[in-house]
Amino acid sequence: MLRILINALRTGVVTIRYPAEPSVPPNRFRGAPVLRPGSHLPPPSVCPATAISELFDAEGRHVALDLARCIFCGRCAEDPWADAVGMGRDFELAAHCRDDLRIEVVADDPAATAAAPAPDRDAEAARTSSEIHRVLGRSLHLRHLDAGSCNACDWELTALLNPVYDVRRLGIDFVASPRHADGVVVTGPVTRNLETAVRRTVEAVPDPRVVIAVGACAASGGIVGEGYASAGGVDRVLPVDVYIPGCPPRPEAILFGILVAIGRLDARRQPREG
Amino acid sequence: MRLGRTGDLPAAAAVLIGGHSMALATVVATDETATPDGDLKVRYVFEPTAPGAPDRFVTLLVSVDAARPEVPSLTTAVPAANWHEREMQDLFGIIPVGHPDPRPLVVHDGWPQGVFPLRKAFDGSRRVPVEPADEFPHLVAEGEGVFEIPVGPIHAGIIEPGHFRFTSVGETVLHLDARLFYTHRGLEKRMEGLSPLDAFYVAERICGVCSVAHGLGYCEALEQIAGVDAPPRARLIRSIILELERLYNHVGDVGNICAGAAFHYGTATGARLKERLQQMNERLAGNRFLRGLVVPGGVLLDLSDDLLRSLAVTLQDTLSGLDGLMGRIEANPSVVDRLDDTGILQHQAAVDLAVAGVAARASGVDRDARRDHPHGAFAGPNPPDLHVVTISDGGDAMARMTVRALEARESIRLVGELVRRFEPGPLQVTLPEPLPGGRIGISAIESPRGEAVHWLRTDPRGRVERYHLRSPSYHNWPAVALAAETAIVPDFPLVNKSFELCYSCTDR
């Protein structure tokens, strides 16, 4: 017992101070891709998760990237498209609606800037309703709901409870029963075999409640997509309050999304240059 | 080996298992009704079990008439075939005649009758409506004072979904019926028809904590088909990150076993050590699960001297942290008492069920795919020595934890050895485009959970025709149910954590 105490004292405090202090991911970290307009952007077929789409109109070729689908593999930023796409280091990507996660550029017009949808502050404020912020803003108890994930997102949620992230310092905790929860964090694309369990678990959470979709599969179906065994995203089954992109999102990214859900931080805005 | 009559299958399997001491590695069904053969095929893949046996697989191939899809069941003689046969019944409609427990496995309640999703004629891209269904017939014990305890699929912690139906008398578990495949996403169907490169990203994402192992297994099977060899430096990097994956898992698992035994210092220490390793992963690969390093043909990123230096420091700290943690655990009688003799898996049961990995070695089964089916640097020039940790008189939770701790140390040593073998050289070879059609690649990778067998075949256009993963957890889950029957209900979390199996790579 004494040894344990001595060892704990010797280890000291390992907890980080995010979000009070920023977290800087390492150099190789692949965050939100940055599309550079005007250069020759990759065709949709390059993306294994079908996150890239294109359409043609009077302005030229529009290339759009859906961050909710993106698995951050970096393939669109490899040669020969390395000039056109860079993997940024931005990981604070959580948003209240899917459209906010769409990056669109006009490929053939060097003057056009990255055109993310114009931020709508009023709508934003309405979405993080003052009721959620007032009731849950300072103490949030979440229930984890695995809806068919590959377990990477699950392990990152577990990591939030480790001594390094220790989300309890922010008034956030994970509870065992949906009856004790203020919301759910859902991982996975909602498999057919779990659809009933997912619905019933969320129904068991008292109102007001938040539903947070963690990771590409939950946010959009991700690499799994829609299929005979997969609904292709949580919002095919339930209304979602916050989408957290990533494959998996790093623990700070999940923490950011949870704080966005309860209105303690603003959601993602314009893509920032990495 | 192609069998002329399906009726010969049990005898042929008996010769391989009894006469040549082989074990069932995987069973792969394919729908070849569109080919001139016009049939369904089932391949029973066996592998040698004697340490030092040559690296090979023996396949028994049977042709199944699509109009009358039946094969004789092997399960009674080869218990490891149990789930494989139930799976092909669900997904291909191939009936294992004489199977002792032909309940549905992969598709759950409300799945429409007569719809087989892995048949080629089935369009897998659409959701299938849920039809009304009766309650699933769980296998339970009955009698006076016998209780049924249903647990899951949604559990109380942050873990994956599965349903466990205990029947118990008091605290003693009489029987455990584990129902899995809740996370069945249809990934094997999802990969069909994709270019082999696109399909790689799916394979890498079958399981989070086996990302490297499954990505690598897919790549090695693909490289066999392509007839290329990854360059030596790429092989070294692949093996290094495979060991790093094992290491962060094993260290975290030791911590989680402490959670099962209510030793919170151990839980926190394990989580802290694992976090340090995952942060290192993010520096090496840009992803905390090491995704994005392995690619078909080699590796995408090099490991610079700078990174290797900080890796060495991290590993040194991990080693001393792990030694300290194991010392605390072994000196703590209340933890040791919980682990000793808890959840015993008998040696013979481990052999019969073809159990893999830590669970097998803790029950005295000397198997390790790094030695038995060399891959990564073990198949390259100048392979490092490998010490396979086997405990012959254990089989309990303590043995499984001890094997993990020893293997974690071995992984740290191996990484050092592999780094010393570094020579400058290319990181990737180019795969031919398109790939040769109609070829089969089989690889076996020692993932953190044990041997995973990958089976891949290309279609005439060089795209993925069929991919099948038999994960170590697939063979190990039935062993958890057996081991739980030697324990009491409150010890089940501990037994479960001592096996620490993935649901997602079992369910796919």
User: What's the complex ipTM?
Assistant: 0.91
Whole-number mean pLDDT of chain A? 86
Contact B278 A223 (CB under 8 A): no
pLDDT at B239 over 90: yes
Contact A148 B278 (CB under 8 A): no
| pLDDT reported for residue A207 | 84
Contact B322, B254 (CB under 8 A): yes
CA A209/CA A238 separation, integer angstroms: 12
Helices B264-285 and A152-159 cross at an angle (nearest 10°) of 120
Please report, as a single letter, which amino acid is at residue A41.
L
Contact B202 A223 (CB under 8 A): yes
- Kindly state the average pLDDT of the residues B56-71: 91
| pLDDT reported for residue A274 | 38
B64-102 pLDDT, tens digit each: 988 899 999 999 999 999 999 999 999 999 999 999 999
Identify all chain B residues contacting A231, using CB atoms and an 8 Å cutoff: 127
Classified by CATH at the fold level, domain B187-506 comes out as Cytochrome-c3 Hydrogenase; chain B (1.10.645)
Instruction: Give the burial class of A266: count Cβ atoms within 10 A of its Cβ; 0-12 exposed, 13-18 middle, 19 or more buried.
Output: middle
Return the higher-pLDDT residue of B319 and A270: B319
pLDDT at A156 over 90: yes
Sign, CA dihedral A152-A156-A157-A158, equals positive
Residue B213: which of B223, B221, B201, B204 has the closest Cα?
A: B204
Return the higher-pLDDT residue of A138 and B219: B219
- Kindly state the average pLDDT of the residues B462-470: 94
Contact B374, B383 (CB under 8 A): yes
Cα A135 to its chain centre, rounded Å, is: 23
Measured distance between the N- and C-terminal CA atoms of chain A, rounded to whole angstroms: 47
For residue A193, the chain B residue with the least C-alpha distance is B182
| pLDDT reported for residue A132 | 80
Identify all chain A residues contacting B284, using CB atoms and an 8 Å cutoff: 28
A198 token code pair? 């997912």
Identify all chain B residues contacting A201, using CB atoms and an 8 Å cutoff: 154
For residue A176, the chain B residue with the least C-alpha distance is B156
CA A129/CA B177 separation, integer angstroms: 45
Q: Chain A closest CA to B2's CA: distance in Å?
A: 32
Contact B277, B269 (CB under 8 A): no
- By the CB < 8 Å criterion, does A116 face chain B? no
B197-214 pLDDT, tens digit each: 999 999 999 999 999 999
pLDDT class of B271 with cuts at 50, 70, 90: very high
For residue B109, the chain A residue with the least C-alpha distance is A193
SS3 content of chain B, % helix, strand, coil (to 5): 40, 15, 40
- Kindly state the average pLDDT of the residues B109-134: 85
- By the CB < 8 Å criterion, does A247 face chain B? yes
Q: Which of A71-80, A84-93, B318-327 has the highest mean pLDDT?
A: B318-327
- By the CB < 8 Å criterion, does A220 face chain B? no
Buried (b) or exposed (e) across B219-258, using 16+ Cβ within 10 A?
bbbbbbbbebebbbbbbbbbbbbbbbbbbbbbbbbbbbbb
Identify all chain A residues contacting B186, using CB atoms and an 8 Å cutoff: 224, 227-230
A170 token code pair? 């922010």
Contact B286 A248 (CB under 8 A): no
| pLDDT reported for residue B93 | 93
B411-428 pLDDT, tens digit each: 999 999 999 998 898 999
B122, B201, B271 member nearest A73 (Cβ): B201
For residue B117, the chain A residue with the least C-alpha distance is A228
Give the count of beta carbons closer than 10 Å to the beta carbon of residue A138: 12
Report the top-level CATH class of A121-261. alpha beta
**Secondary structure, 3-state, B250-263:** HHHHHHHHHHHCCC
What DSSP string runs through B66-123? Answer: TTS-EEE--TTT-GGGHHHHHHHHHHH--EEET-S-----SS-TTPPTT--TTSTTS-
Contact B381, B232 (CB under 8 A): yes
Contact B182, B153 (CB under 8 A): yes
> Among the listed ranges B41-45, B190-194, B390-394, B443-447, which one has the minimum average pLDDT value?
B390-394
pLDDT class of A119 with cuts at 50, 70, 90: low
Tell me which CATH code domain B6-137 carries. 3.30.460.80
A74, A230, A232 member nearest B292 (Cβ): A74
Contact A162 B271 (CB under 8 A): yes
**Which of B204, B218, B277, B287 is the mutation pick for testing A, counting most A CBs within 10 A?**
B287
| pLDDT reported for residue A269 | 53
- By the CB < 8 Å criterion, does A4 face chain B? yes
Contact B284 A28 (CB under 8 A): yes
Phi-psi region of B169 (alpha: psi -120 to 50; beta: other; left: phi over 0): beta
Whole-number mean pLDDT of chain B? 91
B157, B206, B272 member nearest A163 (Cβ): B272
Domain ranges (residues) in chain B: 6-137, 143-182, 187-506
CA A236/CA B127 separation, integer angstroms: 11
Q: Chain A closest CA to B354's CA: distance in Å?
A: 24
Contact B154 A201 (CB under 8 A): yes
- In three-state secondary structure terms, A188 is coil
Domain ranges (residues) in chain A: 121-261
Please report, as a single letter, which amino acid is at residue A127.
R
B367 token code pair? 């198997």
DSSP 8-state class, residue A230: B
**Which of B151, B154, B200 is the mutation pick for testing A, counting most A CBs within 10 A?**
B154
Identify all chain B residues contacting A188, using CB atoms and an 8 Å cutoff: 183, 185
- By the CB < 8 Å criterion, does A30 face chain B? yes
Identify all chain A residues contacting B291, using CB atoms and an 8 Å cutoff: 73, 247
B376 token code pair? 């990564």
| pLDDT reported for residue A123 | 58
Contact A159 B278 (CB under 8 A): yes
Q: How big is chain A by its Cα radius of gyration, in Å? A: 19
For residue B206, the chain A residue with the least C-alpha distance is A150
CA A216/CA B345 separation, integer angstroms: 38
Instruction: Give the burial class of A45: count Cβ atoms within 10 A of its Cβ; 0-12 exposed, 13-18 middle, 19 or more buried.
Output: exposed
For residue A13, the chain B residue with the least C-alpha distance is B272
B353 token code pair? 């069920």
CA A108/CA A112 separation, integer angstroms: 9
**Which of A167, A174, A186, A192 is the mutation pick for testing B, counting most B CBs within 10 A?**
A192
- By the CB < 8 Å criterion, does A193 face chain B? yes
pLDDT at A272 over 50: no
Q: Chain A closest CA to B167's CA: distance in Å?
A: 22
For residue A229, the chain B residue with the least C-alpha distance is B185
A48, A155, A229 member nearest B186 (Cβ): A229
**Which of A1, A52, A151 is the mutation pick for testing B, counting most B CBs within 10 A?**
A151
pLDDT class of A108 with cuts at 50, 70, 90: low
Cα B142 to its chain centre, rounded Å, is: 33
Identify all chain A residues contacting B296, using CB atoms and an 8 Å cutoff: none
Q: Chain A closest CA to B126's CA: distance in Å?
A: 5
Contact A152 B289 (CB under 8 A): yes
| pLDDT reported for residue B20 | 87
Q: Chain A closest CA to B127's CA: distance in Å?
A: 4
- By the CB < 8 Å criterion, does A50 face chain B? no
CA B272/CA A22 separation, integer angstroms: 20
- Kindly state the average pLDDT of the residues A204-213: 91
| pLDDT reported for residue A79 | 83
> Phi and psi at residue A196, in whole multiples of 5°?
-65, -45
CA A171/CA A140 separation, integer angstroms: 6
> Among the listed ranges A28-32, A82-86, B163-167, which one has the minimum average pLDDT value?
A82-86
Contact A205, A235 (CB under 8 A): no
| pLDDT reported for residue A271 | 46
pLDDT at B195 over 50: yes
Q: Chain A closest CA to B329's CA: distance in Å?
A: 11
Q: How many CB pairs under 8 A join A and B?
A: 194
